[in-house]
Every structure is written in structure tokens, then in C-alpha cells.
Chain A
Amino acid sequence: MGIIPAHMTRLSNIFCLVFALLLPVGALAQGVDAASKTITLGFSSEPPTLNSMESTDQVSSMILAHVKEGLLRYDQHGELAPGVAMRWEVTETSARFWLRRNARWSDGKPVTAHDFVFAWRNALLPATASQYAFILYPIKNAEAINRGELPATALGVTAVGDYELRVELERPCPYFASLTAFMTYYPVREDFFRSRGERYAADAKDMISNGPFMLDKWVHGAALSMAKNPYYWDAQDVKLNRIDIPHMTSDPQAMFNLYRNNSIAMTGLTRELLGKAVELGYPIRSFETGAVYFIEINFRPERATSNLKLRKALQAMIDSTVLVNRIIAIPGMHPTDTLFPRWLKGVEKPFLEEYPPPVIDHSLKRARELMREYLDETGQETPPPLVLLTGENPLAVQQAQYIQYLLREGLGIEVKIDRQIFKQILEKMRAGDFDLVTAGWGPDYNDAMTFADLFTSWNENNRGRYQSEEYDRLVRVAQGTNDQKVRMEAIAAIQQLIADDVVILPSYENSGVYVQDPRLKGVVRSIFGGDPNFRHAWIDDSHPAAAAGATTP
């Protein structure tokens, strides 16, 4: 292995560089540079893969949302907007998309309906082994293709000429249009894909863009850079010339220091850093991540938690209001008693306004009554000890310790906190080696179903093995029609069932806090479609911070 690189610094070079160091140094890249319309950011990690058919994670999703565009996209208000498709229609059995003729790849060639057909078929191939293949399942035959039972050509999607795409649906899917904004649905051009083979999307030169930006530099593990894509159909609306990402570290403190030094335009805050940022007088911003956190319960029959009375007692005991407002105390976090977050749409208004969550009597008295009943019913003298599985995330640990305290003081339950790294949590959850586990769910698409089908008997993510025929039936009802009223009624019934059966113990709707250079405007923080998004961002050089040289943003 040739491990000594050509650029390895020789001693003589070091001495030259020492002199260079002593000379006055020109300004390094600024977090926000109005003259070149460039912003500089830091990432917590390298994108694991930028092959849109295989990507699963946040970092890849953020980059892909800038360098690619689906049939639909999310606009500056976080609403669905025309992307490559100018207009579309979705019925119970099919969907049609009419593509704009001025959508182009970054080499100037047009984006056509064939690029979508190719990407979707390819993502479903068993050999691709895409972890997000399931998101294509509403398309006819998708699941069978993914199982290897049908050839990819059997997929219910056809290009009618270059600019019309017809989709047959497996089942009614009123939110199908919003799915097309998801990364697995992004177009991939066959000739380019084939020309790169195994190297497709492995480096900047092995990628091709149809989004507002294009990747023009990727030094693995170290740096990425995106330049404005001149071929983008709405290029005149893209104000930034470049997004530079020269820093990659998972240390939030280091990111914050970069922000303080004005080297990056924005950074997320942990709770400790939040205090520091307030002290420094930075304006604090927060945004909804869309995720809901809860305690998942093990329903396997050998577990104490499979008993409804015990679960009811836990439900009465655990009120997350104190945890969220007094202990976690991060702005924007919202305590909740339901799986469904506030931002979900209902029929006309937000779902929770139309169907408020069941009211749960969180009281010590009620909890102790239920506990008594449970002990009598099972003929036990003292409550059984419980295992609470949790991870390394400080918030989850705090949550676990709070619950440990509550259950010990309130109900006399000894809770053993089992703290594991992420992979081990997954393994223990799969094996059913827990009673309670701190968990959460981030939505994949903008419909209540992304939460509702979580506890069906067939969902692999239902790691507590909750099983209810009624639950499964309600999900099928909601999946069986485009009638939003019928669907939302079913979802509301699911919401009630989750509370009645105590499927989970809901904790909070998550939010993120961050600081951002005040000269940077128009950044969209959104639940869907890659976050943060800079397609509409611009630099306001009339801001006072710009004149002052912006040493303190």
C-alpha cells in the first residue's frame, strides 16, 4: 500500500511554512461572503453515499436536496411545489406527471421521464438492496419486484414520450405526489449511471446534477463544495453562487468555535452550547425537526410490560411536561401525549386540531391505584424490576434517569437503565431484550400514515411486537381510500387505540436550536426534503454586521 502521499510535507517545506506563518495572513474563508455570494458550513459527518437510490441518512439527504430535484420539491414555506414536473394529478389508481421541458442535467441534456423510470426500477432491484425501497411500494408491483418475484420492467410506471410520466398505483395513495419529493424518487440518468458502473456517485466527477446546485468538489472525510448549477431551470431564482463545506466533525463544541470565529454561517446547539450562545448574546433560533420521541414498550408475552394494567400505571405516572419544560428545557420542544405531531395535516386544519389527543389522567393517585390492581391481578407482592434501554444521546439519558426516578419514587418500581451504543440498542430491540426503550420516529413523508403504520403487525420497525387486529384493520382502512375524511377518522381511532392499549408512552415533539449569521437570509429549515435548504437563501450585505466586518455575528 502506498501510504506516503506525494503532498507529504518535507522538513524544508515546514521551515518555509513557518516563515509564511509569520507573515501577515490574508483572510480565510468567511462564514458568509457577500462579494462572492458564498457561504461556508460544517458537517457532522461525511455523506455515507450520494447515490440517491441508496441514501438513507440526513447528511446525504441535505446534499442531494441541493444537487438533485424530484418531480415535486418543497418551497420556501415548506410546502410542496412543482419541481421537474410542472403539474400532476393523483387518482385512487394512478398518477400522472407532466414534466417541464427546460429541466436540464448539469451537462446540458434534458431531464426526461425515462430518468425517473430508470431510477425507480433500479432502486427496487433486489441487487441494489436499497433500504428505502419500501417508499416506492405504493407503485404497482414494486414490492414484488423488490422481493425478486417480478422483473423490474413490470413496475407500474411508463414514460409517455419524454415529458409525461404515468404511474399505476398498487393501492390508493393520496400523498403519492409528496413521495416524489423524497430522495429515493429522484431521477437518475441511465447512460451516465452505466458509464460510471460501481463508481457512480462515489466522487464529485461521478455525479451529475439536475438540482439548483452541483457538487464540484468532494475530498472524502474532509470537504465538499457545491456550486450553482447554470443549467437549473430556475437558476435566476438561486442567489448563492457556492456552498462550501470544508469542515467535518461530530464535535458540536468545535463547530460552535468555528461559528464564533466567523468561519461558518450556522451551527446547531447542544444544551450546554445553548447557554454559551445566550451568554455571548447570539440570537437563538429553533426549528421543528418533525420527529416525535417516546418510550417504546415490549409486548412480548414473557415481559411484565405485556400486562395492560402495568402499562396503564406507567402511563398515569409518566407525564413528560415536567421532563420537557423543566429538565430538558430546550426552546421549541413540546411535551405530548400522542404519537401524532402538531404539524400533521388533517382534513381541513391540522390533524390535532380536528382530532385532539385523548386526555390522560397523569396523577400519582391514579397510578398507584392501577399498580395495586396490577399486583392483585398477577398475585405479586412487589412490582417487578424493569429494564429501560437507552443510548448515548444526553437527552435520552436524561429522559431515562427521570423515568427511573419517577417510577421508583411513585410506584416502587426498580428501573435498571441499560445504556448501549446505537448498534447494540438495535440488536437488543430486535431480540426483545428490554421492557422499555427510549425511541423516536422521524417522518418520511408528509402524511399521518408515516406515523400510523408504525405499530402494525407487519411493520419491521414495530420492535416491541405490539399486535392488534383492530390496529391493523384501521391502517388498512386509511390506506384503502383517497377520501381524507375517512382516512383521518381512522387515524383518530388509531390515536385513541394507542392511548387505550398504551402502545407507547409519548414524550415530546423534537426541535433543534441553532445560531445563524444574521446576514444570511432565506434559509429553509424543514421537516421534509433535506434540511437545511439554501435554494432560496441569500446574503443581506446591508445588514449592520456586514459593515462592521462581522466579528460578532
Chain B
Amino acid sequence: MMRFIAGRVLYGVFTLWFLATATFFAMHAVPGDPLASEKAVSPEIRRNLEARYGLDKPLLTQYGIFIGNMLQGDFGISFTQKNRSVNDIIREHFPISAQLGVLALLWATFGGVVFGAVTAYYRNRWPDYVSVVAVIICISVPGFVFAALAQLAIIGLNEAVGKDVLPVAGWEAGSFRHMLVPSLVLGLGTLAYLTRLMRSSMLEIMDADFVRTAKAKGLATTRIFWQHQLRNAILPVVTVLGPAIAGITTGGFVVEQVFAIPGLGRYFVQAVQQLDYTVIMGTTVFYGAFLIFLVMLVDILYGLIDPRIRLAPEKLRQKGGPV
């Protein structure tokens, strides 16, 4: 297990280096630069700006400086937010995206597993049909539509009650009221996806031999459901959970815009639009590391749920289990 983890970590570091290098050169290859602005500046001011940001040096030197600073955990100062370091931006804004993402993921996982299992159980009956339609809608309609609809619903609710039951938009640190609707909207797509995944996996399990055996043994239906079906059916869900966490915590850009939430997503997107070199590199490397870490975590978690992955084949043979 230790060798397995060490291998994964090494592999992760290499991936991260490759990601950083590729992004660095791709970014500099894009025409235009962070210093260009609508009011053109004189060659003198431009030279001053280039010197200030180190853009006057050859690209390879810039790359060397970047890698050196990155190893010390320093991504430099943003081009567009002139007084803020990229580290500050990540430190202040990622936790907000993360809070929203974790909450969204809670809704999505819980909802996905429950709805998926239920629809599988009621296969080809009305709860199944209703949920299939709902799933298709949730997957195909883009998030900003749901976000806008949710806002209108909040306005209607507030008008009906006569006071602000829920905020239309905005963020207050630790305020659940501000997180509730955005996290629901953010989790909706993943919830639908997980429902579908859970349903098909559940259907497969329901016809499996060991379920039939359990039934033949005369086990109670609820016990079969919880211990034999759910635990096995949930495996594929766990597999996609890693990428889903990364996707949800990093892909909240639209929801963050609509609900005026100061998460990292908007900085990520705006940095690319404004060619803010330092922020692009900082957020890419950070998100990359985050994703790699999560995928690794899922691998390990997977082993905990499914003993076939955790244990080496020899041990299984000694135990006399199936190979």
C-alpha cells in the first residue's frame, strides 16, 4: 500500500510539472499580453511596465524564475489586481468555492444515491419515468438558466412573505442562507449524473447472482438492499466522486457570477480573458494539484470500500477468496 501511494505521489508531481510547463508556454504563445490596455501607452511607460513585471527578460529566464518561485510556493503579484499576490487570491477565494462545492456535493451525492436507488427499485413505473425526465432536464439545461430561475423564485418568495427570507445574491462568510440556493443549483447537474449512474449500477446489481443467493437464503429485503445491493452499486459513484469534487469546486464560475459569490472560479476565468499571467499560472497549478490529490484519494478510498482492490492477489488466495 505504501509503495502504491508513493508511486502515485511521484506520478502526481510529474503531472503537475508537465501541466505547469505546458500552461506557461501555451500562455506566452497566445497573442497579446497582460500589459495591453485600451489606452495604449508610450514605449517608455511600456518599458517601465515590462521591467517591473520581469517581462523584459527572455522567456526561458522567465520560466526559470517562475519554476524557482513556484517551488517556494510563490506565484507572484497579479497583473490586474495590482496590490494582490496570487497566493492571497487563492487563500481568500478558494475556501469560498470549496464551501459552496462541498455543500453542493453533499446534495448531489446524497440525492444521486437515493434517487438512483429508488428509480432502480421502481424500474419502469412512474417514479422511474418522472426521475428520468428530471435527470435529462438537469443534465441538458445549463447551470446559469437554473441560477436565474432560482433568483426569480427567491424574488417571488421574498415578495410574498414581505421580507428577505433568502438573499437574491451575495455572500457573507459562514452564512448558510447565502449558500443554500447557489449550492443546490451548483449540485444539480452532478446530482442528475449520479442518479443516472446509480440507477444503472443498481439495476445491474439487482440481477446479480449473489443477490439471488441472498434472496434464496431468505434474508430480509431491507438487509439485501442496504448490505448487498447499495454497497456494491455505490462503487462507480465513488469512482467519479474525485473528478466531481474538483469539477464542482472549480467549475462554479457561472453560479459564482450569478449569485455574486467571491469564489476562485471567477478569478480563474477572468485571468485567462485578461491574460493575467501570474494568476493563470497560480490557479492552474493549484487546481491541478487539487485534482491530482483528489484522484489519488479516490484510489485509496476505493480500496477501502472494495477489498478486491486493496488486497494483493496472493493474500486473497491464502484466504481462499475469489480471484
Contacts and interface: CB of A to CB of B under 8 A. Distances in A.
A30 to B, nearest CB: 9
B252 to A, nearest CB: 13
A430 B36 contact: yes
B91 A3 contact: yes
B99 A221 contact: no
B87 A1 contact: yes
Interface in A195-247: 198-203, 219-222, 246-247
B169 interface: yes
B8 interface: no
A20 B166 CA distance: 12
Contacts, number: 191
Contact of A423 (B164, B175, B257, B273): B273
A246 B31 contact: no
Given A1-B90, A131-B45, A221-B267, A258 B168 contact: yes
Given A21-B177, A249-B260, A257 B45 contact: no
Interface in A237-268: 246-251, 253-254, 257-258, 260-261, 263
A422 B52 CA distance: 23
Contacts of A430: 36, 40
Contacts of A427: 31-33, 36
Given A56-B37, A249-B260, A423-B273, A9 B168 contact: no
Contact of A3 (B44, B81, B90, B174): B90
A131 B35 CA distance: 10
A64 B267 CA distance: 23
A362 interface: no
A250 B260 CA distance: 8
A251 B258 contact: yes
A254 B151 contact: yes
B228 interface: no
A17 to B, nearest CB: 3
Contacts of A42: 260
A547 interface: no
B176 interface: yes
A14 B43 CA distance: 55
B45 A221 contact: no
Range class of the A interface residue count: 35 or more
Given A3-B91, A258-B168, A51 B44 contact: no
A220 to B, nearest CB: 6
B32 A221 contact: no
Interface in B74-88: 80-84, 87-88
Contact of B40 (A1, A25, A28, A463): A463
A426 interface: yes
Nearest to A57: B37
Given A131-B45, A147-B44, A221 B36 contact: no
Nearest to B150: A257
A13 B103 CA distance: 13
B253 to A, nearest CB: 11
A35 interface: no
A8 to B, nearest CB: 6
B49 to A, nearest CB: 4
Given A17-B177, A48-B80, A461-B40, A254 B169 contact: yes
A500 interface: no
A254 B295 CA distance: 35
Contact of B52 (A5, A129, A203, A460): A129
A13 B175 CA distance: 10
A51 B286 CA distance: 29
Contacts of A359: none
Contact of B273 (A9, A56, A131, A421): A421
A463 B39 CA distance: 11
Interface in B3-56: 30-34, 36-45, 48-49, 51-52
B68 interface: no
Interface stretch (B155-163, B300-308, B312-320): B155-163
A48 B82 contact: yes
Contacts of A134: 41-42, 45
A202 B40 CA distance: 25
A123 B171 CA distance: 36
Interface residues of B, number: 71
At the interface, is chain A mostly helix, strand, loop or mixed?
Answer: loop
A343 B110 CA distance: 61
A348 to B, nearest CB: 31
B209 to A, nearest CB: 39
Interface in B125-167: 148, 151-152, 154-155, 158-159, 162-165, 167
A461 B39 contact: yes
Contact of B81 (A49, A199, A461): A49
B236 interface: no
A453 to B, nearest CB: 13
A247 B257 CA distance: 10
Contact of B168 (A3, A146, A261): A261
A61 to B, nearest CB: 13
B176 A17 contact: yes
B170 interface: yes
Interface string A129-149: 111111000000000001110
Nearest to B31: A427
Nearest to A47: B81
Contacts of A261: 154-155, 158, 164, 168
Contact of A129 (B40, B43, B49, B80): B49
A248 B41 contact: no
Nearest to A431: B31
A4 B51 CA distance: 35
Contact of A460 (B41, B88, B165): B41
B173 interface: yes
22 contacts: A1-B91, A3-B90, A7-B174, A8-B98, A21-B180, A24-B163, A25-B163, A28-B167, A46-B81, A54-B82, A221-B92, A247-B170, A248-B262, A249-B257, A249-B260, A258-B260, A261-B158, A261-B168, A422-B38, A423-B33, A430-B40, A460-B42
Given A42-B260, A251-B257, A422-B274, 7 more contacts: A8-B99, A28-B167, A126-B44, A131-B37, A249-B259, A263-B167, A423-B34
